[in-house]
Structure 1
Amino acid sequence: MTAMTPCLDRPEFLPRLSPHHLPRPRLCEALFDSAARVKLICAPAGSGKTALLTECLLQAPVNCTVCWLPLAGASLSVGEFCERLARAMGLTASDEASLLYELARRSSATWVVIDDYCRSPEPALDALLDRMLAISSPAMTWWIGTRRRPPCNWPRLLLDDALYECEGATLALTREEIAQVLRHLPPAQADSVAARIHLRSGGWCAGVRMLMMQKCDWSQKTLPQQRMDTLLDYLQHELFSGLSPELAEAWRVLAHLPRFNAGLCDHLFGAGDGAQWMRSLQTLGCFIEPWHGSPDWLQVCAPLSRLMRDEPWPAGRSWHRRACQWFAAGQHWKCAFEQALLAEEYEVAVSLLQHFSFEHLFEEQTVVLLLRLYEQRGEELLLGSAQLVGLIAAALLFAGRFAQAADCIGQLSRFLPPPSAAQQRQLIARWQAQQGWLLHLQGRMDEAREHFEQALIDLSPKAWTARLLCLSGRTQQALLCGDLELAHSINREALCLARAEGSLLFEALLELDHAQLLEQRGASARAEELLAGLCEMLGSSVERPTPLLGRIALRRGRLALSMGQPERAAEHFQQGLDDCLRSFDKRVLYGFLGQAQLAADQGDYPQAFMRLRDAERLMQQRQIPDTVYRGVLLQVSSELWLQQGRPELAHEALSRVLRHYRGSRARQAPPATLELIPRIECLLILAETRLHQAHQPMVRLQCLIELAHASRMIALEAELLLAMSEVASLLGNLESSRQYFERGRALASHFSLPRLLMKFAERAPGLWPDSTPDRKLAAHCDDESSLSLRESQVLELIASGSSNRQIADKLFISLHTVKTHVRRIHVKLGVERRTHAVARARVLGLCR
């Protein structure tokens, strides 16, 4: 919000900024850097247009005449507009001809700032504005804030470099900007709260402000009713009051749909009228935006859509039923399925599942929808087809509901015997594949392996999805056993099959296993490059594969953490946490664990333990078996206790959890934690040594080191060598301690694992003066020095402002090769964007 105030160095009244205003220099700088004489800021209500114009206006040069024209969205006649503009410019004549003459001959620098231009289409006024923009003097700069884009000759202005347009998506507040307002909170907490606010508001300025107006328990999933009422009141005044009843009702309907286009609107609201209403809502700036960047589909912006869906809607069932019919006719099966659930047409929803495949589980919200249907109609689902039962079982396994998944898998026996022996063999093979995954996730490796191997023998070529899942399970088992060669062989076989079938989603799922393999071999930078490429490929998917992107983000967070890049790790962990929460993925656990480790690295142990408690609470709320999370939670907790100097707590926890992984009834570690058991053993030896209770600690650690070395598990070997150095020093054997430290440091440095050295320095401060790496350079020193000649050439051309296409032409290489080099440069410099890469390289003297 702004108000009028006199400015000391200007005779006119100018607006002032709210005390709660958050400066946005990234936007102001972009507007000032542009030499265009028309600056158009087009965005819906509450996007901060007025505040941005005011922020720029207050920085206008002293020798510049500023004409502030607040229109409040009113529909004005041509005469009224000319009169207001003439008054703002200090002119005596206000007729159109005189005003156009003055605009054309103006020689002194003048800014005309039009705030909240006419919200409703006014052809005569729009035509006048077009004429003014076309003939105005180069000394005139137009700043226009509007909810709708007036039908002016924008292409001509754009071709003449006379137009700079700032759109609604650009105005959205970033997570970092929201965190600036939360400076009263500790940094880790401020970042966490800012992330949640950004997730709920999408950065919409008015939404952020309303969310921050009252104190809030951010652990809750719903907004307090008072805040929801405030948002609804805001919409009533800023949106609905300016719409006809028909358009207002249409907007409410569209807000409840995941996506829409002209065809669906015609089906819902009447042929001809529906598409026209949709275009009218777009024109009026009613928070309608492209769906996932698609040119064919639209959506109401997500925060407002979620708000409307939370409100009671008695007429909703009939609208959802009609939308379901349209989506089904167009074979948009997931959307039709979701609309059938919302319409409470459960029989229709069940019938639609015949069109689903396993790949649909990777699409956004599919698992959540299947779980909702299972809770409503579980008995009926189990009486359906074998394909349906298998799909529900897969969703339950994904969410970590193993007991329900076991019941569901057992129901496949209902479909025996099928008409032929061949069909029976395939049904049993599919049962073995799913039973194998259930046993695998429960930690029963030997039984799971038998099921996987038998299923691979019997599955037909048509059942390639089940075959790929079995191969993925076998890859993970080989990784857990430390047999990296076997894991690599199985993974390559699976990837070849996925590519032959043209399944990008399965390829990405299998590349996640490959990234774990690379991480074990110490190739963290290669693993990060692989996963960054996957994100780029998956980003072009029509349906955003949220579950898969969430898992990729968590793995990238772990890689960034190990490479000493805490800021990147924090971004990836937060993204992975958000995606996995939305998808009901049990691997959300590793987002909490990553945030706990980041907090501990900053010395904020209360926040670290709070994140661990949040993880445990969520696992219990979602009824996930403790075999999934208990071991790794206690392992991370024990790491923190050792860092705090509390070995007795670590000893008690580790002794208890290790019994779970040893003995005749031992379980394997969860697939996502390959080094869990050796790490637990290593931490237990450290705790026992500190408590003077260790029995042959050096011998036990040496056995672990030899196993890691034989398996070529580089990261684990480096960690164990540093632990051996610490144990040797506690036992008074400084010579051995130094030798093991040098070996561990050499591995950690060569394979870019500075965090291991940092953690060693924290657990054993002052043991070896050269054990603490420079925190500013530790994350990048090894990678930066390893820039290849070609990468250095690409970096120089990026710094000179060349595009990827220009770089390809200058170096005589393909565009794809340039993109690969750019990705590698970003990984090695620990940055995400080209501008950051150039800035980082200049600091380090890598380019001019």
Structure 2
Amino acid sequence: MSQLLPYQPRIENRPNLVPSLRAGHIPRPRLGEALLHAECRLRLLWAPAGSGKSFLLRECAQHCPPEARLHWFDLKDRELGEAGFLQLLADALGLARADLAAVQVHLEQQQTPIWLMFDDFPHFYDAHLDSCLNRLLQSSSRQVFWWIASRRRPTCQLARLLLEGELFELGTAELALNFTELAEVLKRQRQTALLPEIDNLLAQTGGWYAGIRLRLHSVEHGQLLAEEAGNALVKNYLERELLDELPEHWRQALCALACLSSFDAPLCEHLLGMGEGTQLFRQLYECGAFIEALDSNDRQFRVQPVVAAVLATRVAEGPKKALYRRACQWFSGREEVRQAIEYALLADLPEVVASLLQHITQDRLLHGRGMARVLHWRNELPESLLASTPRLLILNAWALALSGRLDDAEECAEQLQRFLPQATARRQREMLAQCQALAAKTAYHRGQAPVPGGDLDAALDHLAEGAWAQRLMLETMNIEMALVEGRMEAFQELNRNAVKLAREHGSLVMEAMLVLQHVQLLKIRGELVRAESLLKRLHTELSNAWDGEPNPLRGRAQLCRGSVLLQLGRYPEAAVCYQAGLQECLDCEDPAAVWGYLGLAELEAAEHDLTQAFARLAEAERLMQYRRITEPVYQDLLVVAYGKLWLREGRYERAADALEKCLQQYRGPDGRKPPYGSAELIQRMELLLALAQTACGRDVTAQIEAMLQQALAEGRRVLACELWLGLAEAQYARSQQGLAQRALLDGLALARQIGLADVERCCSQRNPGLMRWGREALSEAGSSAAALLLSQRELTVLEMIARGQSNQEIAENLFISLHTVKSHAQRINIKLGVSRRTQAIVRAKELGLVK
């Protein structure tokens, strides 16, 4: 297949002159070659006006093979029914008769290739014309090749042709210019100054061929003019190419639909007139009036955004608000609250908005962009309306709390006092329970642990049965505290019960929140592959549930998967997940976006781009402040992130001072608790502080050993691995070579068993000499599982466990204390990835450590 070439002069087998390509047209080799390579009898290009169909057809005409005859039919502005269509064909083919039978017989008997190219096939439905075309398509010889460019898809037996491999079609999406094509256009037109604006230009035009050309006509001094200037050209184009051809009531209907974000046939019937609304919509859709389907089932539609904004300006303000009021009524009747609220706002009906908001339940805040929408809607309403009912105050307070705006949430919750006392004792208890639930929620996110008999317990005791979503949100706090305190069995029991409650109410979103908590446990235990698999499945389920709409929990799942992939050393994949999760959380105004910034900063640090990593953290802090997120939600996470970067830079004293100051808030019985979703924050701050102090020449081996014992006792395998490596660094710095080697080998063995490639990388960056020494020791030790996993003493203890000896018997036989035996058993379980001695025996036999 040759490349598409400039148009060649007409030769003998081109009896109908093909119009020449105009100066400045945009070549489309991507599409032209696809059309020319297609092995089929019908090539159909169908899309609205200005999609470049005619130019593409002309480009393809230049490549008609010499042995084929080409007939070009320019049907623009022609009144063409069945008879006219047959007459055109008969004249072109040299037939004496222009009836269907004569044309059909001639095309059936065609022995040599012939191209029939129809530009601008009639875009208004004509049953007789379509039937005629269908009969010719079905009966014509395989030597007859049909090329049709039209604003509509003819009602022929296209499905049959497609199944037979005889149809190749391009629609609106395929005909839209892509990034590469637009860049080529700008280069050809010597407008390279606009190359940085390609994304903006594509967003404004949707890749619409005519829209791009019109926007480029509005260029001044290498800059795109204001969008209004481009819209003025689009408006003139649409009036000439589309609106002038439509009957008046069609024009009015199209402009009304352009005011809507989306619509379906029943809504059209309601808005455009009973008995004719659906028909009007179908007629406009079928004639290529820039209406596109939003789903694969062709149920939801919209006017293409590039022209919708222009067409909507033709509707006066009064009729437009009346349209929005009727749309609001329609969606209210169908209990589709979100759409009803959006149209009530457009119709300037704040009282209706306030009334509708009361139908939103707390679990709905985490559906799609529910939380962001409620925050947006509250900005559109006067304060008096927002505080007019308890339900509105409760909804807004929960939205503010979930978005991290704790001060605003508390202020909102305080206004509930105005509605006390309630009329009955039951309602009084339920109202007080809501106040206590909000108080517990905000206090927890400020770092205050729940106390027995406090607001959290009281709220759980008295919340109404219908407040199951609030109950689950409170239960997540108890679950998180169990994880923070290392009560792993209690965590699992609480998590299972909460999942059961979520499933009883069919709440995927609440179940997803609990799954993310379970993933935290898997990450702590070092079950990273299992964690990633669970996160991928959760992402799929959430995507299927909301058709790809941004969702805060799906964003969190992406961020969590990014952290798992980072630990596994799969950095490019981690970057993709972090970027996707960050954008999703930003779209939903979820404060978990800070995790995305932290993850990307860590990846940039891994690439030795510390400048960009620091900038990323500054960007996170700026966003949190701009959105009025309360500091305890994010501030200490940033301190840890900055601490890691300062260690990389060698600014050890600064890191130690910042971490020590931060840790002071967490020490003591009344110390703060870590923010939600960061159960090991305190331990990681202490580890970073120990590393900074080691670099400053201080002896912290005792502190690290104590932290290691605690991590082993609680089954925190990833943390234990990092602590072993940190202990090796501290001992190496104190010239305790033998102890450092044992700790390093323990840490490296566990890291490789779990797959913690990032832990090795971090340690190598901090202390490359130590890691080289450790890897050489591993290499000398050999590749057996025994050499890599367990010390000789641990192997001895394991063999005695496998023989059925108790801890006391082992202590007596080895002349060591019972406490030492238990420590060895804990280390064995951690290294083998098990929690019980029976599991350790099974795992050891699988690895060949014992017989």
TM tier relative to shorter chain:
0.7 to 0.9
Is 1:702 matched up with 2:705? yes
- Cα distance in 1 for partners of 2:209, 2:657 equals 49
- Note the C-alpha offset of 1:301: 4.8
Would the aligned equivalents of 1:718 and 1:748 in 2 still touch at CA under 8 Å? Answer: yes
Aligned partner of 1:344 in structure 2 is 348
Instruction: Pick from 508, 533, 539 the counterpart of residue 529 of structure 1.
Output: 533
Instruction: Pick from 600, 606, 631 the counterpart of residue 636 of structure 2.
Output: 631
Q: Which AA in structure 2 matches 1:714?
A: R
TM-score, normalised to structure 2, is 0.75
- Cα distance in 1 for partners of 2:252, 2:590 equals 36
Q: For residues 565-610 of structure 1, what are the alpha-carbon distances to aligned partners after superposition, in whole Å with 9 as ceiling and x for unaligned? A: 3444344333333332232222222233333334444444444333
Q: Which AA in structure 2 matches 1:612?
A: L
Aligned partner of 1:810 in structure 2 is none
Would the aligned equivalents of 1:28 and 1:52 in 2 still touch at CA under 8 Å? Answer: no
Is 1:484 matched up with 2:488? yes
Is 1:263 matched up with 2:266? yes
How large is the RMSD of aligned CA atoms in angstroms? Answer: 4.7
Aligned partner of 1:354 in structure 2 is 358
Would the aligned equivalents of 1:445 and 1:667 in 2 still touch at CA under 8 Å? Answer: yes
Q: Which AA in structure 1 matches 2:379?
A: E
Aligned partner of 2:463 in structure 1 is 459
Is 1:505 matched up with 2:509? yes
Go from structure 1 to structure 2 and tell me whether the alpha carbon gap of 1:535 and 1:51 turns closer, same or farther (over 3 Å shift).
Answer: farther
Would the aligned equivalents of 1:120 and 1:284 in 2 still touch at CA under 8 Å? Answer: yes
Q: Which moved more, 1:458-467 or 1:619-628?
A: 458-467
Aligned partner of 2:751 in structure 1 is 748
- Cα distance in 2 for partners of 1:398, 1:338 equals 22
- Cα distance in 1 for partners of 2:310, 2:532 equals 37
- Cα distance in 1 for partners of 2:70, 2:529 equals 54
- Note the C-alpha offset of 1:23: 7.4
Q: Which AA in structure 2 matches 1:477?
A: M
Aligned partner of 2:157 in structure 1 is 153
How many pairs were matched up?
Answer: 752
| 2:6 counterpart SS class | strand
- Note the C-alpha offset of 1:405: 0.5
Aligned partner of 1:5 in structure 2 is 6
Q: For residues 628-656 of structure 1, what are the alpha-carbon distances to aligned partners after superposition, in whole Å with 9 as ceiling and x for unaligned? A: 22222232233334345554554454344
Aligned partner of 1:230 in structure 2 is 230
- Note the C-alpha offset of 1:6: 3.2
- Note the C-alpha offset of 1:498: 1.2
Q: For residues 347-393 of structure 1, what are the alpha-carbon distances to aligned partners after superposition, in whole Å with 9 as ceiling and x for unaligned? A: 11111223221132133443334223433445324543322211111
Instruction: Pick from 589, 593, 612 the counterpart of residue 588 of structure 1.
Output: 593
Aligned partner of 2:613 in structure 1 is 608
- Cα distance in 2 for partners of 1:318, 1:495 equals 46
Go from structure 1 to structure 2 and tell me whether the alpha carbon gap of 1:569 and 1:240 turns closer, same or farther (over 3 Å shift).
Answer: farther
- Cα distance in 2 for partners of 1:112, 1:560 equals 56
Aligned partner of 2:689 in structure 1 is 684
- Cα distance in 2 for partners of 1:255, 1:659 equals 59
Aligned partner of 2:836 in structure 1 is none
Would the aligned equivalents of 2:351 and 2:385 in 1 still touch at CA under 8 Å? Answer: no
| 1:355 counterpart SS class | coil
- Cα distance in 2 for partners of 1:599, 1:8 equals 57
Is 1:550 matched up with 2:551? no
Q: Which AA in structure 1 matches 2:337?
A: W
Would the aligned equivalents of 1:4 and 1:15 in 2 still touch at CA under 8 Å? Answer: no
Is 1:667 matched up with 2:672? yes
Q: For residues 476-532 of structure 1, what are the alpha-carbon distances to aligned partners after superposition, in whole Å with 9 as ceiling and x for unaligned? A: 222233333222211111110111122223222222222222222222332333333
Q: Which moved more, 1:570-579 or 1:116-125?
A: 116-125
- Cα distance in 2 for partners of 1:449, 1:109 equals 89
Q: Which AA in structure 1 matches 2:500?
A: C
Q: Which AA in structure 1 matches 2:535?
A: L
Would the aligned equivalents of 1:425 and 1:458 in 2 still touch at CA under 8 Å? Answer: yes
- Cα distance in 1 for partners of 2:661, 2:236 equals 58
- Note the C-alpha offset of 1:333: 1.9
Aligned partner of 1:721 in structure 2 is 724
Q: Which AA in structure 1 matches 2:582?
A: L
Aligned partner of 1:374 in structure 2 is 378
Structure 1 regions of 5+ residues with no counterpart?
184-191, 216-222, 773-848
Q: Which AA in structure 1 matches 2:508?
A: L
Q: For residues 268-310 of structure 1, what are the alpha-carbon distances to aligned partners after superposition, in whole Å with 9 as ceiling and x for unaligned? A: 2222332223222322334434445565433345676689899
- Cα distance in 1 for partners of 2:542, 2:41 equals 39
Instruction: Pick from 758, 763, 771 the counterpart of residue 761 of structure 2.
Output: 758
- Cα distance in 1 for partners of 2:637, 2:649 equals 18
Go from structure 1 to structure 2 and tell me whether the alpha carbon gap of 1:465 and 1:274 turns closer, same or farther (over 3 Å shift).
Answer: same
Q: For residues 696-743 of structure 1, what are the alpha-carbon distances to aligned partners after superposition, in whole Å with 9 as ceiling and x for unaligned? A: 233333333333332223333333334444444555555545444433
Would the aligned equivalents of 2:7 and 2:59 in 1 still touch at CA under 8 Å? Answer: no
Would the aligned equivalents of 1:685 and 1:694 in 2 still touch at CA under 8 Å? Answer: no
Is 1:399 matched up with 2:403? yes
| 1:5 counterpart SS class | coil
Instruction: Pick from 393, 413, 425 the counterpart of residue 409 of structure 1.
Output: 413
- Cα distance in 2 for partners of 1:738, 1:364 equals 51
Alignment of 1:234-253 (within 5 A): 234=234, 236-238=236-238, 241-243=241-243, 244=246, 246-253=249-256
Q: Which AA in structure 2 matches 1:321?
A: R
TM-score, normalised to structure 1, is 0.75
Go from structure 1 to structure 2 and tell me whether the alpha carbon gap of 1:165 and 1:6 turns closer, same or farther (over 3 Å shift).
Answer: closer
Larger radius of gyration: 2
Would the aligned equivalents of 1:642 and 1:650 in 2 still touch at CA under 8 Å? Answer: yes
- Cα distance in 2 for partners of 1:650, 1:84 equals 84
Go from structure 1 to structure 2 and tell me whether the alpha carbon gap of 1:513 and 1:761 turns closer, same or farther (over 3 Å shift).
Answer: same
Go from structure 1 to structure 2 and tell me whether the alpha carbon gap of 1:578 and 1:84 turns closer, same or farther (over 3 Å shift).
Answer: farther
- Cα distance in 2 for partners of 1:641, 1:70 equals 72
Would the aligned equivalents of 1:757 and 1:771 in 2 still touch at CA under 8 Å? Answer: no
Instruction: Pick from 317, 326, 347 the counterpart of residue 322 of structure 1.
Output: 326
Aligned partner of 1:838 in structure 2 is none
- Cα distance in 1 for partners of 2:311, 2:654 equals 48
| 1:673 counterpart SS class | coil
| 1:299 counterpart SS class | strand
- Note the C-alpha offset of 1:212: 11
- Note the C-alpha offset of 1:431: 1.8
- Cα distance in 1 for partners of 2:326, 2:772 equals 72
| 1:710 counterpart SS class | helix
Alignment of 1:38-437 (within 5 A): 38-44=42-48, 75=78, 77=80, 103-106=107-110, 117-121=121-125, 126-142=130-146, 144-169=148-173, 226-227=226-227, 229-230=229-230, 233-234=233-234, 236-238=236-238, 241-243=241-243, 244=246, 246-291=249-294, 293=296, 295-301=298-304, 314-315=317-318, 316-377=320-381, 379-381=383-385, 383-437=387-441
- Cα distance in 2 for partners of 1:180, 1:644 equals 44
% identical aligned pairs: 33
Aligned partner of 1:565 in structure 2 is 570
- Cα distance in 2 for partners of 1:455, 1:484 equals 24
- Cα distance in 2 for partners of 1:431, 1:511 equals 27
- Cα distance in 2 for partners of 1:176, 1:662 equals 57
- Cα distance in 2 for partners of 1:231, 1:770 equals 68
- Note the C-alpha offset of 1:203: 7.2
- Cα distance in 2 for partners of 1:673, 1:10 equals 75
Go from structure 1 to structure 2 and tell me whether the alpha carbon gap of 1:277 and 1:420 turns closer, same or farther (over 3 Å shift).
Answer: same
- Cα distance in 1 for partners of 2:117, 2:614 equals 52
Go from structure 1 to structure 2 and tell me whether the alpha carbon gap of 1:661 and 1:699 turns closer, same or farther (over 3 Å shift).
Answer: same
Q: Which AA in structure 1 matches 2:138?
A: A
Q: Which moved more, 1:474-483 or 1:536-545?
A: 536-545
Would the aligned equivalents of 1:4 and 1:16 in 2 still touch at CA under 8 Å? Answer: no
- Cα distance in 2 for partners of 1:711, 1:303 equals 58
| 2:302 counterpart SS class | strand
Would the aligned equivalents of 2:711 and 2:720 in 1 still touch at CA under 8 Å? Answer: yes
Aligned partner of 1:776 in structure 2 is none
